[in-house]
Amino acid sequence: MTPAMWDRAKPLLADAAEQPEADRERYVLNHCPDPELRHEILVMLATPAALSDIVTACALKSGDYVGAYRIEQLIARGGMGEVYRARDVKLNRDIAIKVLPKTVAADPVRRERFEREVRTIAALKPSQHRHGSLCGES
């Protein structure tokens, strides 16, 4: 999900989260005419991550540092977390940082899924991945 799409999704997701669970899908269908955005919101509503973690996410801003990595911009956001483009200031290269919500990081099954994702990406040749390496923050 792009940052612009997230800006449109966040209020709809928050409003849907206030509905009784049985009414959430109907609420989104009635209030979101964009099929792509509607799909993304429904996926987030179905995720096991706490809705409050999704709605209040995005703690990192352009210019923030995570270790030696300077955050450049948010690339995508979803139920498994947020992905940021960052700059490794020591090695002078672009990387991607994936930040996991606490509920995902604390769940051993979902944490293992994330670690498999990281190992898979790390095994790729640099020319095969678009955004560099991933590292998780809990």
Q: In this prediction, what percent of the chain has a pLDDT beyond 70?
A: 77
The domain of 8 spans: 3-46
Based on the fold, state whether residues 40 and 87 are members of the same structural domain.
no
Q: State the total domains in the chain.
A: 2
Comparing C-alpha atoms, which of 70, 49, 73, 136 is closest to residue 100? Answer: 136
Based on the fold, state whether residues 77 and 130 are members of the same structural domain.
yes
Based on the fold, state whether residues 132 and 77 are members of the same structural domain.
yes
Task: Provide the token pair at 14.
Answer: 């928050």
Please give the pLDDT value at position 26: 92
Asked if residue 72 is part of any domain, the answer here is yes
Based on the fold, state whether residues 128 and 74 are members of the same structural domain.
yes
How far apart are alpha carbons 7 and 2 in whole angstroms? 9
Does the pLDDT of residue 2 top 60, yes or no? yes
pTM: 0.51
Comparing C-alpha atoms, which of 14, 97, 101 is closest to residue 62? Answer: 97
Give the pLDDT mean for 101-129. 76
Asked if residue 36 is part of any domain, the answer here is yes
Assign 72 to helix, strand or coil: strand
CATH number of the domain residue 100 falls in: 3.30.200.20
CB 67 within 8 A of CB 46: no
Average pLDDT of the chain to the nearest whole number: 76
Tell me the residue length of the chain.
Answer: 138
